[in-house]
Amino acid sequence: MQNFRNYYDILGVGKTSSEEEIKRAYRRLARKYHPDLNQGDKKAEDKFKDVNEAYEVLSDPAKRQKYDQFGQYWKQGGFQGGGAGPRPGSAPGRTWTPDFERPGYNSDVDFSQFNDFQEFVDQLLGKFRTDGRAPDPAANVGYRPPNAQTRTAPPPRRDSEALLELPLERAYVGGRERIRLEDGRSLEVNMPAGVLSGQKIRLKGQGPAGGDLYLKIILQAHSFFTLDGSDIRCQLPISPSESVLGVQVEVPTLGGIVKLTIPPGVKSGQQLRLAGKGFPKDSRTNGDQYVEIQIVVPKNPTNRERELYEQLLQVQSFNPREHFTKI
């Protein structure tokens, strides 16, 4: 049997509280522990269920009266009043009138002293013997009618975990993703934009025996972009003439192609920032994209290009080794 749940303590009210006071306490706690405001918080979810269970009983005058009278045993059939019935464990056809229903017996029983219903029955049977009444030969805890079927307990509810590998572009935009589990099931997952490696997505009730399934995100490596927290880093190759003169070039981002102005005289290894073009931080803001300049020389220049480079070499005033004369 479940451990005793004190519904007054759960709602934070007293036994003499009015219906209005109980309702106010329920509304306050329901807002505080509502799943929509505590996503992924298992303790808040369990607390929300407890609050609703307590309010369901204490807001109903009839249920509250039985709960106040019988405590944790208010749902037991033998405690809800009304005459004699079959004695627990007794032979078929016999009736049992418990002591608390016999004339002259004090019915003010403190049920909270018993750990469960069976303990109450065992003590009650012991009371029959000490009172001099003959014990019922069929009244034993293990009595079971012939051909009675044994009820098999359901398998235990447990949580499980599965890996979900995503391309960087899919994690950037989010949205619906269809996955196939090891047991053959196919599920559609609604992913938020900007999920990162190591984060988990909870699928309630999709684990074994009704448990929860947690999808652990693994982001695949990208050939051009590197993820650094919420920032994106990449390398951009440019020609020597582009680095000298400065130009406007097109740069890939996860959100599409954008134009970037290369300043004149840019150096190889220098980084330029594209503000807000990185990975999503939240639903409104993104990180930045950092573009590292890589000056690349042609491996097989044409004859005309070689001619122009030779002319440039004759007229250029720039000496990249000028500082060597000071060594």
Three-state SS string over 65-116 comes to: HHHHHHHHHCCCHHHCCCCCECCCCCCCCCCECCHHHCCCCCCCCCHHHCCC
Tokens linked to 202: 């909870």
Give the pLDDT confidence score for residue 124 in this predicted structure. 57
Q: pLDDT truncated to tens, each residue of the chain (327 aa)?
A: 445 678 899 999 998 999 999 999 998 998 888 887 888 888 988 999 999 999 999 999 988 988 888 776 667 644 444 444 444 444 444 444 344 434 444 445 555 555 555 565 566 555 544 455 554 544 444 545 555 566 677 777 788 888 888 999 999 998 888 888 777 788 888 888 898 988 888 888 888 778 888 888 999 999 999 999 999 999 999 999 999 999 999 999 999 999 999 999 999 999 999 999 999 998 889 999 999 999 999 999 999 999 999 999 899 888 888 888 776
Do the bridges between strand 231-238 and strand 289-295 make them parallel or antiparallel, or are there none, so unpaired?
A: parallel
For the chain, strand residue ranges (E) read 160-166, 175-180, 186-191, 200-203, 213-219, 226-228, 231-238, 248-253, 256-261, 271-274, 289-295
Give the pLDDT confidence score for residue 178 in this predicted structure. 84
What is the spatial distance between Cα 51 and Cα 73, in angstroms, rounded to a whole number?
Answer: 19
What is the spatial distance between Cα 171 and Cα 187, in angstroms, rounded to a whole number?
Answer: 17
Give the pLDDT confidence score for residue 307 in this predicted structure. 93
Q: What global pTM score does this model have?
A: 0.50
Give the pLDDT confidence score for residue 325 in this predicted structure. 73
Give the type of residue at 277.
K
State the CB neighbour count (10 A cutoff) for residue 42: 11
Give the pLDDT confidence score for residue 91 in this predicted structure. 44
